[in-house]
Every structure is written in structure tokens, then in C-alpha cells.
Structure 1
Amino acid sequence: MEMEDIEDVLGPAGIAGGGAAPGLRLPLAAVAVKPKRPRSSRVAQTRPQPEARIPGTQTIYVKTFGCSHNQSDSEYMSGQLSAFGYAITEEPEGADLWLINTCTVKNPSQSAMTTLISKCKSANKPLVVAGCVPQGSRDLKELEGISVIGVQQIDRVVEVVEETLKGHEVRLLSRKTLPSLDLPKVRKNKFIEILPINVGCLGACTYCKTKHARGHLGSYTIESLVDRVKIVVSEGVREIWLSSEDTGAYGRDIGTNLPNLLNGIAAELPADRSTMLRIGMTNPPFILEHLKEIASVLCHPCVYSFLHVPVQSGSDAVLTAMNREYTVSEFRRVVDTLCELVPGMQIATDIICGFPGETDEDFSQTVNLVKQYLFPQVHISQFYPRPGTPAARMKKVPSVEVKKRSRELTSVFESFSPYQGMEGKVERIWITEIATDGVHLVGHTKGYIQVLVIAPDSMLGTSADVKITSVGRWSVFGEVIEGSVVAKETQKHNHSELQEEYRPSQVEEATCCGTDSCGACTCSDAAQQCNPGPERSENSTPQSCGDATHQEAVQSKLVRRNVEGAVKSSESDTAKQVGEIQRLNVAARRFPDVDTILWGGLAVSFATTVTLIALLAYKISSTPSY
């Protein structure tokens, strides 16, 4: 018998009396569960029932696949579990239960989920699967016998985990109101808050499976989002990422729009620029009517001049087949307008290679689009037919051709260096994390260009001026300028000065000492890489992040740091030894007669011992023998 959802069992009103408020735990007796009963003695031996333990004392392994919205959901679930007493770990072997938050965008993500589920079952670990896969494909064979929780039910993860640890199967998938933004949260990076502004979207792309999981657009109110921003700023967050399936569609279901939200949030950002705002991915259709307003916000000193705008294809025919609801010329208008009005603007985009029906001419138009704009970031993927989508029923391009086009576009993208010319420039960066090499810290410029610097961990969560020393294909390298580090406590502006610097209504009237071919301010320190420019040769060799010159510089700096550390350590040890000697000398000066007293005591003891031995010998010799 197929397991029913909890809400289906309880009825639309939930428990008698209206159920629990969002974020509150229902009584365990009120949760509809399906006890796992072994079908045979053999199964009972291989999958024993978990031993009874006090709830909230176990360790939970949390694994997340997919987008930043999924990451935020995992942070909320981890926060609730942690608040209830569970320990969150990144080590699956020692965990008492695995919680997998899944992604349904591409086949590889779902395949990785399937592999992880198999490993969990082999290890006889209790398992909960969350996210878009169970929500969008609830009858998936791989999910049989496993507890699942939907994307809008994350505020009840504690209940699901508790029942699963008891050996029960729980299915919690029915949709309800949006989860509260004030739930406990454990951030993966304490300096970065991922803030979901809405769920779902208004589109109907023929290839998209996410719509099946996240559903129709549902927006949080501006008031609730601004309140959340105030809280996270007070907690020391340095970057706020607005996350959504389509940021541009925000508010259309509640009578507002994205510019209203952005202006409301920007007004609450600290005047010292210690916290920066990053606007999330937006599709072209829903920002076309707000381009000037969005450009105005992107000019704000506390907002990164960066936007992720997926184009998916440079061919109108393919965009029509995808049901993307815009044309290539409209995408160009978005990019051109933002690059004209926002100094240092950086645009990232997405492209799908080999969509059903894509011809050689269609693909050629996509390649030319990339060559024209020289996007600093392009997420290139091959088409994957997702079950249940219209595109899955379309005639496919041969897989060999799809892979060939993907390799060709990747080669074109890697043939140019978008950050060429930044050497020697001074940029302000905000430092939030440690690089994967364990050597550098990672910061971002106002245009969200990644800058790698060698600096102490104490600089995490600060901003600083850096001089760009070299550029690579994916990032640039810099040296921190001494005396430029600004922590949150150091105020650079007051609010009136910040508002004077940011004038939303005067973007078009702003003047500067000069502009480049796209109208961007040439006196800005940020690179103008997203702007149209001359095509670069496909045979040009991009600079590598690991070129020999830079590696030598890194090695020399590391050696210098190690030597300095060794010298400081040696000096410290010597100082300790000298200090100990001085302490003993002081003690000796306090007690000048100690040595005399000790020697006198030893002499008395020696004389006493000799006398006793002599008396004993005399007594023995005077005793008559028989």
C-alpha cells in the first residue's frame, strides 16, 4: 500500500484545532508514520530496528546538492536540528542518520543522489531525503522505503528525523505556506547569509524539472525580508545573497516588484560598507521593464555590480522551443543597458548545448554571442532530458554532437582572459572565505571579481584595498595594501554621506571623467569585462591561475612566512628561558642564606650518623662471647 502524506492523513486542517503553527513541533503522536516491518527474518537481521535512544542526542550528516536556495534550506534544517540538540557533522561514517538535500535540475545531480542513497542503505543508516527530487518525483523508485520531506516543509524536519530514527517511514510533501525566515539557522559560512526572497517561478520552460518541485511563484513580503536583513547584519554577516528560482519575478504575486525590495534592503545596509548585497539569478523577461531601476540599485556602494542573467541560447528558434519568453535582442538590451549605466558591471550567463532541434547555425549564433560579450562567467551544460518535461519528448540531437558542441563552446570561452588589464589597479575587496588551496583568502571586488590574497585568517569578514599583481582565467591575485583594512567597527561614512553617494533617481545624469565604448565610467577601478568588444583570437592562450611566475611568488611568500614564524618561535623560546633564569636569580637574591643553612644541615646530619655508627660498633665489641 502506498504511504500517504502526513497532511493527507490529518486532513486539510491538520490536527484537531488547526494544527501547529509554522516552525513549531507537533506532538509525536500526531505525526502519521508507517512503521518499517521486516518482510522476513533475513531482512530483519540485515536491517535491525534502531535501539531506543533519547531524541536530540544523535549525530546527523547533512549533504546538499544544487543551488544556493537548496543550501539555504539545508542551513535552516541544520539550525532546527541543532537547536533541538542534534549534532551536525560532515563525516557520514560516524553519523546516526543521513539527511540528503537533493537537486533535480540535471541528471548528474540526481545520479549522485542515487549513489549516496545506495551507500547509506549499505551502511544500514537511517535516511531522510529532502529537496526537489522527492517533491518533483515522489514516486521515484529510489525513494521507496525512505523518509522524505518537501521543499516547503523544512520547518518540520525535526519531526521527520525523530520518527525515522525510530524506524518509521515518513512522507511530508503536501504544500503549505512558506517556511518562516526566522527559523534557527546554521550557516555553512558565518559571513554569508543566503536569503530566499521567493520560491517557484512564473515561467514554463520546456526543459525545466525544478518547476515541478518548487511550483508557482510565492514571494515573501518586503517587510519580512527587510527584518531578516536587519537581524543578519547585527549577527556579523558580511555578504547577503538574494536567492530565488527567478529573482526578477519577485513580488508579482503580492502586488510589488524587485526594485521596491532592493531599495528597501539597500536602505538597511551598514553605512560603513561592511555588508554587501549580491542579487541572485534573474531571467530576462521580468527585468526588462525595470532595467533603469535595477541599474540604479547596482550602483549603490553596498551592492555588488554583478548579475547572473541566463541566456541559454543565442538562437531565437531555440529560445522559442525552450519557451523562454524572450528573444536574443531582448537579452542584448538587458546586458547593454546594465553595462552602460553601471560602472564595472559584470554579467554571468548560462548556456545549454544540444537542445532538441538545435542546428549548426543555431549553435554558431550562440558562439558568436559569447565572442561578442566576452562574459567573465559562462555556465556551460549539455542538454539532459528530464522525465516529465516537454523537452524530454522532443527529437534529440545526437549525443556525440552535443558533446562536440559543449567542448567547442568551452574552448571558445577559455580562449580569452576577461580580467586582462587589471594588473596594477587598486581595488576594494570584501574577504569572506578561505580558498580551496588552503593558502589564499578569497575576496570580491565591487564587480564581484574573485581576488585571491595571502593574508592572515583574521582578515576574514573585513574589507581592504588590494593591488592586483597578476590575472588568471577564473580569478585575479592581489596584495593587501597596508593600513587599508576596514573592519565593521571602523566607520567610513555616515548615513547621510552614503545616501549622497547613492542617488537612485540620478543614474542617467551621473557624470565622470570619461566613458568607454559601452558608456561605463573609465575612472572606475573595476574591470569592464562584460561590455562588447573586439573578438579575441580563439588561439590566444589564457593566463592560468597556476602559472610559474605566480607559483614562485606564492612559494617565496610561504617560505618567508615560515622562516619568520620559526624566528619568532625561536625568539619566543629564548625569551622564556631568559625569563626563567631571571626568576631564579630573583628568588636567590630573596633568600641569600639558603645555601649556608643547607650545608650546615648536611654537616650536622653527617656528624650524627658517624656518632651513631661508632656507638653501635663499641657496644658490639664490648659484648662478651659465649
Structure 2
Amino acid sequence: MRYHIYTLGCQMNVADSQRLASEMERMGHTASEDPDDADIFVVNTCVVRQSAEDKAYGRLNILKGLKEKKPDKIIGVMGCLVGVRDPLYLRKRLPQVDVFMAPSDPQPMVEFLNDRFAESEVRAMEEEARQQRDQMQDGEIILPLHERNTLISAHVPVVYGCSHACTFCIIPYRRGVERSRSIGEIVGHVRSLALQGVKEVTLLGQIVDRYGKDIPDGPDLADLLRITHGIAEEMGIERIRFLTSHPNWMSDKLLDTVAELPRIMPVIEVPVQAGDDDVLATMRRGYTNAQYRRLVEKIRKRIPGVAIHTDIIVGFPGETEAQFMKTYELLADLKLDKAHLARYSPRPNTVSDRRMEDDVTEEEKKRRHAMLDELQAQVVGEINQRYLGQIVEVLVEDEHRGKWRGRTPQNKLVFFESEQDLKGHLVNVEVTWTGPYSMQGRLPNTQQANDPLVIMAG
């Protein structure tokens, strides 16, 4: 049978979809890029903001009509819309859905398919996939056939769930308490991706710095990065990233590890969410404006050439104009490389939804969002302009509109032209144009296209 997975939301959802796809491949099913051609259709949902939840319901409502026309089509829903508890209300609201799966848990679909089809009816796994599986360990991931030896960058969850419980965040209610994967399982996951041609892995957690905190005398994130770096050197993975961090758990040991190990990229994603101390306290973030500023200063001091990313929520309940301007001033002063901006929307059962009035109008939220967006575009434009004329190392991900597209160690997007097939290679590129969202470049004129200094294959 053929399956299609429609994924909404964060990188963790992308990783969860990959894990579900792996289980489907293991059973002998194959991916379909065309959803209309799929026998099994799964929507992996996000509810972090109301717009994401609306999009999930919109897609599922479309599938209701499809199910009526093709009752044999199997429909599944996965992710935060389902949550970690039995979704009785969803079963009533979405009768077209055959299988409900909690975040990171493909097992209900596996059991459903095993129950519906006799073993003799399940397509045998292709020989290539079987041979690759024989080389893999616990935690292995089998990529869909069209991604094997073509997917360059992949995500590896290392911490599921979250126990921090910021007042605005629905994640603990939908993904459950914090729980770390074992080193062995993560190693198996990373090795399996390397065997299938992946050149970059990103270790994921809602608070990735909390890795190992739930394991008595367990390893921490710095230890895990060191182990992953060894695997990368052994198996040809060129780059390692990790996200998302929390200011309260960013240790000197972690920063020094990033600075020391060459295959760990100099990017720290550490959300601030707001710049006013009272708003931060109401959000239950656990730090102040001044403490965040000192953290950014420390990160820059310990990691040469580091890029720092953050998240911002505008229009949190009770946020005044003066409090918002503290956030504006923070971004203007710190000049961070990226800011993910969001307008506050109350999420069911969170503390802010139960106890706080959503009293900032939508129009005001949009205005504040636009102000920060304009500021950040100017800041990043100035940061990127420093790369003009420089040689940067780019990991080439794919071809886009006749140009190769890849990213620098600082996660800057770069486009350049070449007639060679450079996908998956590390390439030195001279930057010829910069903007706030991407850069253009060319292969240096002083070198030939096959010069090992230009193309450094893993």
C-alpha cells in the first residue's frame, strides 16, 4: 500500500512523521508524494497556535468527503491535536478518522494495519531496504525510498515532552512529561541516517538542554554531543545542530563543547519570549531581561562566530505598550541572527487560558508583530552584509530554480550556480550579494570546480 503524511508544525513533528514513515517502510508500504494516490493518509497536527489547529481541522474536514467517496482509504491523525490521553471528543468530532496517534507514537497505526491485513497481504520489504536494515541498530530509522541517499538534513529527537510548563505553552499537556531517549537508541538513530546518506543531523528537544536530567547520574547534552560527534567523524556526517535551548539550562560545559568540536555548528537557539521582567514572570520563564542579556554576551564570548536565534511572543495577556517596547529595545540592542515571531493565542487548559484575560486586541498584536518584523529584517540585513565578499562553507541541500541551495555553519541560506551535481557536498562559496533572508554567491574564480578546497565531500 502507499502512504502520504501531511505534516504541520515544528521540527519535532517532522521527526515524528519520519518515525511513522520508517514504521510504514518496515512493514513494506511505500511513500506517495501525491496524496490522491495514497491508500493511507496521515495528518500530523500542531496546536501550538490557533492558526495551526485551524489548519489541521481544515485538512481533516477535506478528508471527510474523501472518506465518503473512498471508504477503504485509511485516515490517521497524529500529534498534539490528539495529545497523550485518549481523545474521546476527537473520535466523536472526526468519525472519518480510523487511527489516532499520540505525538511520537506510531504504534496505533502499526497495530491497525496488522489487524486489518493478513501477513501474506503486506508487501515484502524491498531488498535494498532489508540490506540496509541488517546494518542498523536499536533506534534505527528507515527513510522512504525516495529519501534514501538523497535526504541531506534530518532531525533526531533526544528529549520527548516537557515538564517546564510555561503559562502560555500547551506542549506539556499534549506531549507529556519530559523523558530522555537512551544513548544507545539515539546512536542507532544517527547511525541509520548516516547509512542512508544524511549529512547533517539536528538533535531535538522542547528544552534540549534538559537532556538526561530525568536519568539518575545520566549523561547531559554536552556528553551526547561529544558521542554524536564521534559517530559523525566515523560515518561521514558533516554537521550537527541542536535545538531548542532554554536560558535557565544553558551551561558553560555545553557552550565549551560547541566551541571545541568542529562538526557542531555555532548556532544557539535560545528563546527569550519577551523583554519585560513582569511579563517574563507571568509567563513563568524563570529569568530577567538583564540575565538574558548576560547570557547572550557569554555565548558570544565563548563561541567564536556564533549565530543566536530567539523566539518572541507579542500581545501576551496584560502586555502594555511600555512592556512591549522593552522587547523591541532588547532585539534592537542584541542584534540576534534570527527571531521567530508569534502573536499570542490562548491554548486550551494552559494557565494563561484559565487565569488571564486575552486583553490585547488582534490589531495591536499585528502592529507589534510588524514592528518587530521590520526591525529584525534590518538587523539581519546588517549582519548578513558583513559576509559580502567573504568565502563561506556551504552544505548543499538541493537545487532550487536553477541554483544550488545550502546553508553556512551559522545556518545562513546561500544560493549559487554550478553545472556540477553538488548535493550533499561541502562547498566554499564567495558571497556576492546579501539580504536579510538569504545570500547569493559563486564558486571562487581562483579555484577550479573540482578543487578539494572547494568541494569537500564527506
Q: Where does residue 260 of structure 1 map in the other structure?
A: 223
Match of 1:105 among 28, 39, 48: 48
Match of 1:428 among 369, 385, 393: 393
Within a 5 Å distance, the mapping from 1:583-602 to structure 2 comes to none
Within a 5 Å distance, the mapping from 1:161-180 to structure 2 comes to 161=113
Query: How far 1:260 moved relative to its partner?
Result: 1.4
Match of 1:80 among 7, 11, 23: 23
Q: Tell me, what secondary structure is at the counterpart of 1:414?
A: helix
**Whole-angstrom distance in 1 between the partners of 2:22 and 2:185:** 19
**Whole-angstrom distance in 2 between the partners of 1:250 and 1:412:** 34
List runs of 5+ in structure 2 lacking aligned partners: 68-72, 119-137
**Whole-angstrom distance in 2 between the partners of 1:105 and 1:99:** 19
Within a 5 Å distance, the mapping from 1:16-55 to structure 2 comes to none
Within a 5 Å distance, the mapping from 1:319-398 to structure 2 comes to 319-393=280-354, 394-396=356-358, 397-398=360-361
Q: Where does residue 185 of structure 1 map in the other structure?
A: 143
Give the TM-score normalised by the residue count of structure 1: 0.63
**Whole-angstrom distance in 2 between the partners of 1:281 and 1:443:** 21
Q: Where does residue 127 of structure 2 map in the other structure?
A: none
The Cα offsets for residues 90-118 of structure 1, whole Å up to 9 and x where unpaired, read as 22222223111111211111111111111
Q: Where does residue 611 of structure 1 map in the other structure?
A: none
**Whole-angstrom distance in 2 between the partners of 1:145 and 1:88:** 22
The Cα offsets for residues 119-148 of structure 1, whole Å up to 9 and x where unpaired, read as 111112431101111115722454345220
Within a 5 Å distance, the mapping from 1:141-160 to structure 2 comes to 142-144=93-95, 146=97, 147-160=99-112
Q: Where does residue 614 of structure 1 map in the other structure?
A: none
Q: Where does residue 155 of structure 2 map in the other structure?
A: 194
RMSD: 2.3
Q: Where does residue 419 of structure 1 map in the other structure?
A: 384
**Whole-angstrom distance in 1 between the partners of 2:317 and 2:437:** 31
Identity %: 27
Within a 5 Å distance, the mapping from 1:210-225 to structure 2 comes to 210-225=171-186
Query: How far 1:485 moved relative to its partner?
Result: 3.5
The amino acid that maps onto 1:158 is: V
Indicate if the aligned counterparts of 1:462 and 1:485 stay in contact, CA closer than 8 A: no
1:245 corresponds to 2:199:
no
Indicate if the aligned counterparts of 2:238 and 2:263 stay in contact, CA closer than 8 A: yes
Indicate if the aligned counterparts of 1:77 and 1:185 stay in contact, CA closer than 8 A: no
Match of 1:286 among 249, 252, 272: 249
Give the TM-score normalised by the residue count of structure 2: 0.85
Indicate if the aligned counterparts of 1:202 and 1:249 stay in contact, CA closer than 8 A: no
Give the paired residue count: 415
1:119 corresponds to 2:62:
yes
**Whole-angstrom distance in 2 between the partners of 1:310 and 1:370:** 12
**Whole-angstrom distance in 2 between the partners of 1:183 and 1:154:** 13
The amino acid that maps onto 1:472 is: G
Q: Where does residue 173 of structure 1 map in the other structure?
A: none
Within a 5 Å distance, the mapping from 1:466-505 to structure 2 comes to 466-481=429-444, 482=448, 483=451, 484-488=453-457
Indicate if the aligned counterparts of 2:392 and 2:408 stay in contact, CA closer than 8 A: yes
1:128 corresponds to 2:76:
yes
Q: Tell me, what secondary structure is at the counterpart of 2:428?
A: strand
Q: Tell me, what secondary structure is at the counterpart of 1:387?
A: coil
Q: Tell me, what secondary structure is at the counterpart of 2:433?
A: strand
Change (3 A) 1:165 1:96: farther
List runs of 5+ in structure 1 lacking aligned partners: 1-57, 167-179, 490-626
**Whole-angstrom distance in 1 between the partners of 2:105 and 2:84:** 14
The Cα offsets for residues 454-474 of structure 1, whole Å up to 9 and x where unpaired, read as 224620010111111110111
Change (3 A) 1:300 1:134: same
Which structure: greater strand fraction?
2
Query: How far 1:210 moved relative to its partner?
Result: 1.3
Indicate if the aligned counterparts of 2:141 and 2:193 stay in contact, CA closer than 8 A: no
The Cα offsets for residues 300-348 of structure 1, whole Å up to 9 and x where unpaired, read as 2111100111110011111111111222222222211111111110011
Q: Tell me, what secondary structure is at the counterpart of 2:296?
A: helix
The Cα offsets for residues 332-375 of structure 1, whole Å up to 9 and x where unpaired, read as 22211111111110011110000001111110000001111222
**Whole-angstrom distance in 1 between the partners of 2:84 and 2:15:** 19
Q: Indicate the structure (1 or 2) with the bigger Cα radius of gyration.
A: 1
Change (3 A) 1:457 1:110: farther
Match of 1:295 among 242, 256, 265: 256
Q: Tell me, what secondary structure is at the counterpart of 1:419?
A: helix
